[in-house]
Amino acid sequence: MEILEQFRTLISAENKFIKGWKHQKKPVLGYACSYTPEEIIYAGGILPIRVLGSLEPPKLADVYLPVNVCSFAKCCLNEALKGRYHLLDGHVVSNSCDNQNKVYDLWRHRTAIDKTYFINTPHSTTENAIKFFHEELERFKEWLTKEFSVEISEENLAETVQAFNENRRLLRRVYELRKRNPPSLSGSEALEIVLSSMMIPKDEHSKLLRALLKEIESREDLPKKGVRLLVSGSVMGNSELLKLVESVGGSVVADDLCTGSRYFWNLVKESGDSMMAIAERYLCKIPCPFMYSSEERFNHVKEMVKLFDVEGVLIFSLKSCDVHSFDAPLLAEELRENESLPVSCLELEHSLSGIGQLKTRIEAFIEMLEE
Amino acid sequence: MSERRLETLRGFYQNYVKPSYEAAHKAKEEGKLVAWVASTFPVEILLAMDIVPVWPENYASLCAARRVSVPLCELAERRGFSKDLCSYPRCVLGSLFDGENLPEGGIPRPDILVASTCACDTHLKWFQVASRIFRKPLLLLDVPYNVESANAQNLPDHYIQHYVSQLEDLISLLEEHSGIRLDEGKLRKTLELSNKASELWLKIQDYRKKVPAPMGAREAFSAVYFILCIPGTQEAVDFYERLCGELEQMVKQGLGVVENEKYRLVWDNLPLWFDLQMFPYLRSLGAVVVAETFSHVWTGSLDPSKPYESLARKHLSNMSNCTIEGRINLIVGLVRDFRANGVILPTNWGCRMMTIGETVVKEKVQEMTGVSSLILDVDSTDWRNYDEYRVKTKLETYLKTLE
């Protein structure tokens, strides 16, 4: 389908929207974590784009960083060191995990990006935490208005929230297509669609989603039927791994990924003070494992398993990602014992080095499920 | 080169560490509330409430020193915990899956767990896992990251408010679980003792500024136990007074812990708990560790009339809660104040906080003080990748460059 190619192009260097945006002399801001409230950035006429690294082995970052660092954080820094983010007017980091916090030091000391901002995201969802986060977001808004000489009005915020929510609702409808058997979209296609939503203005992306939802009904080259899998993990910045899973008989119909369902599952409340609604939404969304409670994420996985009729779960942990690595055995145990689901836990590098061995293990898992 | 041993530190493990585990096991039997505590949690609160603190980090280092940590790490790894995680939780979680022949009869089981996000994610995640295993509640202090590396006096107000309001909520929950009310008078007394211990510990560090230094890292990594684990107690104050007395005498007589002091080093991060002989070895080369960053992050003056606010200020400004500037400034200050001519930066395999950015630390310290640093890729507790010969060769070569 041609339209799927369009989504794919948006996550490549060929993304014309970003160039066009820059051409209009409007700023582009990179962000490192799905807890970054994009609405506030976009309401100021600034384009937020997710920094996703690449598949290249991070040779430059390896000069400054030891081996035992999250390979995603390393790959992102590597791209910055290579000058691939020269179009960014700034970089925003959240207090998400040790890897991100500490690599932030390197962004400040070693890259050419001079405007950086750190949002102190709390790790709990209590009333106190929301109040604190709200204060942090107000300060972030102030920084944006000063640094980029923009205005961020309540009206703009409310409008932006609506546009973002609309995009989230549409993405949910896209996910619904995967409840079918065979699914109308493969897992790798769905991931590319979600990733691309982080790379252009949401209303533009929503236009594409609406077109997709129409065209998909007459799709002829449907993905093959396969073992219905849920993929759980942290950041997946490209679709290579899911393509691999789907090349050996898997059909990725659902996910619990930072760059998948966790990115768009929750909406922002559209009534009342927008800044407060944004603070609540981001803090109380399906949590990343750096948050106080893992239960909510585990429950999300269990819900997805039921909604999407999942037969097996692949848990991917990026090497040296502490928060996911601590959760992996717990989530596996919970799914095996309470849901009687087959689970495979796999560790990998973001650059997918050593993918051959990984492929063998995924293949063996899928074969076991096919029996 | 011969070295002197400090009388006050003789039999430290038998006299202080071992009895603390015996006491905790006994308290558990007697039905007292036992809490697992992660470092950077304001333990004074627990001490003032007669809740018995148990330190899993201390247990991991103890297991390493007794050379049993690796088999315990392996037990955790077999349960699916990644080899790339910090070796402290791997070791302690492993000990929960074994239960036999553990040092000090194993780590006392908690009735409650308290942690703070001040030092790392690992504290939170490790304690979450333990909380699930024991089915006991985990109370968390969610500490804002000190992104400007501000000192205790210059922190943003909303950081302090957030810390204080959480601490108040947490105390209410502790009171509910323990049935003990936090007595304000008792808290004041605990904070006063904590201040005293803190002052004495700083005085001890001051003696180490003298040339030759009367105390090294081997002693410091033992003696830091009091300020780290039980700062608000008379026991801590008494011990540090005795140590101060001994050091004062040594300084008066011009005695150093090494007879012929050639190199004065700053040691960052943790020691190799499984090879504490590293320090006598360094001394045999004429090198004394005169300061550890680890000895300089637990002190801080507390105001008994504003207990929560001062605890907030102390912990928010802890170097482990700061950006890399916090660490650079601390090391630069130590190099200058302690007249050091070398810095050892040991990494810790599973510790992102202390490992990422070593190259920046090395560069900045050199720039600001002219002193070079040696980065050592090691782990504090897991010796499987440790090559003693290689590490010693590196150290020897490095020391030669300082001449």
The predicted-structure confidence for A89-146, as pLDDT tens digits, reads as follows 999 999 999 999 999 999 999 998 989 999 999 999 999 999 999 999 999 999 999 9
pTM of the model: 0.96
Q: Which of A120, A85, A69, A81 is CA-nearest to residue A282?
A: A120
Report the distance separating Cα A305 and Cα B298, nearest Å.
47
| Residue B266 contacts residue B296 (beta carbons within 8 Å) | no
Q: How far is B240 from chain A (nearest CA, A)?
A: 34
**pLDDT value of residue A183:** 97
Q: Is B355 within 8 Å of A69 when comparing Cβ atoms? A: yes
Q: How far is B304 from chain A (nearest CA, A)?
A: 25
Tell me the pLDDT band of A13, cut-offs 50, 70 and 90.
confident
Q: Is the pLDDT of residue A83 over 70?
A: yes
Q: Is A289 within 8 Å of B125 when comparing Cβ atoms? A: yes
**B232-271 pLDDT, tens per residue?**
999 999 999 999 999 999 999 999 999 899 999 999 999 9
Q: Which of B392, B403, B387, B400 is CA-nearest to residue B282?
A: B392
Mutate to test the interface with B, among A70, A77, A93, A98 (most CBs of B within 10 A): A98
**pLDDT value of residue A263:** 98
Tell me the pLDDT band of A185, cut-offs 50, 70 and 90.
very high
Interface of B with A (CB under 8 A): 79-82, 84-86, 89, 117, 120-122, 124-126, 128-129, 132, 140, 142, 144-145, 147, 158-159, 161-162, 165-166, 169, 323-324, 347, 349-350, 352-353, 355-360, 377
**B383-401 pLDDT, tens per residue?**
999 999 999 999 999 999 9
**A276-314 pLDDT, tens per residue?**
999 999 999 999 999 998 999 999 999 999 999 999 999
**pLDDT value of residue A353:** 83
Nearest to A120 among B124, B145, B169 (CB): B145
Mapped onto helix, strand or coil, the DSSP state of residue B164 is helix
**pLDDT value of residue A169:** 98
Enumerate the residues of chain A whose CB falls inside 8 A of the CB of residue B129: 326, 330
**pLDDT value of residue A371:** 85
Mutate to test the interface with B, among A128, A318, A346 (most CBs of B within 10 A): A128
Mapped onto helix, strand or coil, the DSSP state of residue B174 is helix
Q: Does A143 touch chain B (CB under 8 A)?
A: no
- What is the ipTM metric for this complex? 0.95
**pLDDT value of residue B218:** 95
Q: Is A322 within 8 Å of B125 when comparing Cβ atoms? A: yes
Query: What is the C-alpha radius of gyration for chain A, rounded to an integer number of angstroms?
Result: 20
Q: How many CB atoms lie within 10 A of CB B322?
A: 22
Give me the total of CB pairs closer than 8 Å, taking one residue from chain A and one from chain B. 132
User: Mean pLDDT in chain A?
Assistant: 96
Report strand pairing: B52-54 vs A90-94: unpaired
Q: Is B121 within 8 Å of A95 when comparing Cβ atoms? A: no
- Three state DSSP letters for A258-295: CCCHHHHCCCCCCCCCHHHHHHHHHHHCCCCCCCCCCH
Q: Does A127 touch chain B (CB under 8 A)?
A: no
**A302-360 pLDDT, tens per residue?**
999 999 999 999 999 999 999 999 999 999 999 999 999 999 999 999 888 888 999 99
Q: Is B124 within 8 Å of A129 when comparing Cβ atoms? A: no
If you average pLDDT over residues A16-44, what whole number do you get?
A: 96
Token couple for A318: 């990026």
* The dihedral formed by the CA atoms of B279, B22, B123 and A67, expressed in degrees to the nearest 10: 30
User: Mean pLDDT in chain B?
Assistant: 96
If you average pLDDT over residues B220-240, what whole number do you get?
A: 96
Name the strand (E) or helix (H) holding B241: helix B234-252
Give the helix, strand, coil percentages of chain B, each rounded to 5: 55, 10, 35
Q: Is B85 within 8 Å of A105 when comparing Cβ atoms? A: no
Q: How many CB atoms lie within 10 A of CB B392?
A: 14
Q: Which chain B residue has its CA at the smallest distance from A320's CA?
A: B84
**pLDDT value of residue B2:** 58
**pLDDT value of residue B99:** 66
Task: Give, as one character, the DSSP assignment of residue B144.
Answer: P
Tell me the pLDDT band of B100, cut-offs 50, 70 and 90.
confident
**pLDDT value of residue A195:** 98
- In Å, how far are B26, B46, B105, B110 from B23, measured between CA atoms? 5, 16, 12, 14
**CATH code for residues A12-154:** 3.40.50.11890
Q: Is the pLDDT of residue A200 over 80?
A: yes
Q: Which residue has the tokens 């760059």?
A: A259
Enumerate the residues of chain A whose CB falls inside 8 A of the CB of residue B89: 326
Q: Is B357 within 8 Å of A317 when comparing Cβ atoms? A: no
Q: Is A322 within 8 Å of B377 when comparing Cβ atoms? A: no
- Of all residues in chain B, the percent with pLDDT exceeding 90 is 96
Q: How far is A65 from chain B (nearest CA, A)?
A: 6
**pLDDT value of residue A207:** 98
Enumerate the residues of chain B whose CB falls inside 8 A of the CB of residue A78: none
User: In this structure, is the dihedral angle defined by the CA atoms of residues A78, A83, A85 and A89, taken in order, positive or negative?
Assistant: positive
Domains of chain B in start order, with CATH, are: 9-183 (3.40.50.11890)
Tell me the pLDDT band of B315, cut-offs 50, 70 and 90.
very high
Phi and psi based region of residue A312 (left: phi greater than 0; alpha: psi -120 to 50; beta: remaining):
beta
Q: How far is B63 from chain A (nearest CA, A)?
A: 21
Domain boundaries, chain A: 12-154
Instruction: Give one DSSP letter per residue of A220-239, joined into a string.
Output: SSPPPP-EEEEEE-S---SS
| A positions 55-84 inside 8 Å of B (CB) | 63-66, 68-70
Nearest to A330 among B124, B129, B355 (CB): B129
**A52-69 pLDDT, tens per residue?**
998 899 999 999 998 899
Token couple for B187: 């808290």
* The dihedral formed by the CA atoms of A344, A348, A351 and A353, expressed in degrees to the nearest 10: -100
Q: Which of B294, B344, B348 is CA-nearest to residue B89?
A: B348
Enumerate the residues of chain A whose CB falls inside 8 A of the CB of residue B308: none
Q: How far is A327 from chain B (nearest CA, A)?
A: 8
Tell me the pLDDT band of A245, cut-offs 50, 70 and 90.
very high
| Residue A287 contacts residue A49 (beta carbons within 8 Å) | no
Token couple for A310: 């999942």
Nearest to B121 among A64, A105, A323 (CB): A323
Report the distance separating Cα B276 and Cα B279, nearest Å.
6
If you average pLDDT over residues B62-78, what whole number do you get?
A: 96
Report the distance separating Cα A48 and Cα A199, nearest Å.
7
- In Å, how far are B34, B165, B179 from B172, measured between CA atoms? 17, 11, 10
Nearest to B355 among A68, A122, A327 (CB): A68
Report the distance separating Cα B54 and Cα B334, nearest Å.
30
